[in-house]
Amino acid sequence: MEEPAGKMTSERIRVRLVGVGNEYRGDDAAGLIVAREIRRRDIPGLEVWEAGGGTEITEQIDGAEAVIIVDAVVSGAEAGTLVRFDAAAGRLPGFFVNCSTHAISVADGVELARVLGKLPRRCIVYGIEGREFEPGLPLSGEVKRAAEEAAELIEREIRAMSAM
């Protein structure tokens, strides 16, 4: 994939945001919705990518200085619950595995990058607890609100990261 064009000031860290999900499967779209919302905000130096699942994650985070991944999760918590993990600090919890829509989950994709020595120095993963994943359903109300909240938090984190 070609990198988006855009001029960077040399002191800024380039942040890559990867939204993960399938927009035709209810709350699974959460990661994509957040990524698209943040793309609209036009943050300088930010690259926004989309992925269908963890399969592409290993490649998509390769070569980035700092990455933020956002995906739907199923952990048993209340729908709309937001979680944040520092993937650089350790293995991601299994509930990314169980809610993944693809052969390799986001957690596995990140883990594979770690094993191959390709995990970016900064790698933060946000999870949004989903409720319904049936095809054709819209985003549930709880997840829609959580996605808005996540976009705020993530924008703040991106701005803090890129100023580091």
Partner 1 sequence: MKNRTIKVDYLARVEGEGALLIKTKSGQVSDVKLRIFEPPRFFEAFLRGRKYSEAPDITARICGICSVAYQMSSVHAMENAFGITVNGQLRELRRLLYCGEWIESHALHIYFLHAPDFLGYDDAIQLAKDYPNVVQKALQLKKAGNDIVALLGGREIHPINVKVGGFYRVPTRRELAPLAEKLKWARDAAVETVKFTAGLPFMEFEQDYEFIALRHTSEYPMNEGKLVSNRGLDIGIRDYEFYFEESHVQHSNALHSTMKQKGAYFVGPLARFNLNFDRLSEIAQSAAKDVGFVPEIRNPFKGIVVRAIEVVYACEEALRIVESYEEPTAAAVEVVPRAGFGFGCTEAPRGILYHRYRIGDDGLIKDAKIVPPTAQNLGTIENDLRGFVAANIDMPKDWLTLRCEQAVRNYDPCISCATHFLKLDIEGS
Enumerate binding residues for partner 1 (CB under 8 A).
1-2, 22-25, 28, 50-53, 55-56, 58-59, 74, 98-104, 108, 111-112, 115-117, 133-136
Smallest gap from residue 137 Cβ to partner 1 (A): 10
Q: How far is residue 23's CA from residue 39's CA, in Å, rounded to a whole number?
A: 16
Smallest gap from residue 135 Cβ to partner 1 (A): 4
Q: 31: which residues sit within 8 A by CB, 6+ positions away?
A: 18, 19, 20, 21, 69, 70, 71, 72, 128
Token pair of 73, please?
A: 């999760």
Q: How far is residue 91's CA from residue 55's CA, in Å, rounded to a whole number?
A: 17
Smallest gap from residue 111 Cβ to partner 1 (A): 5
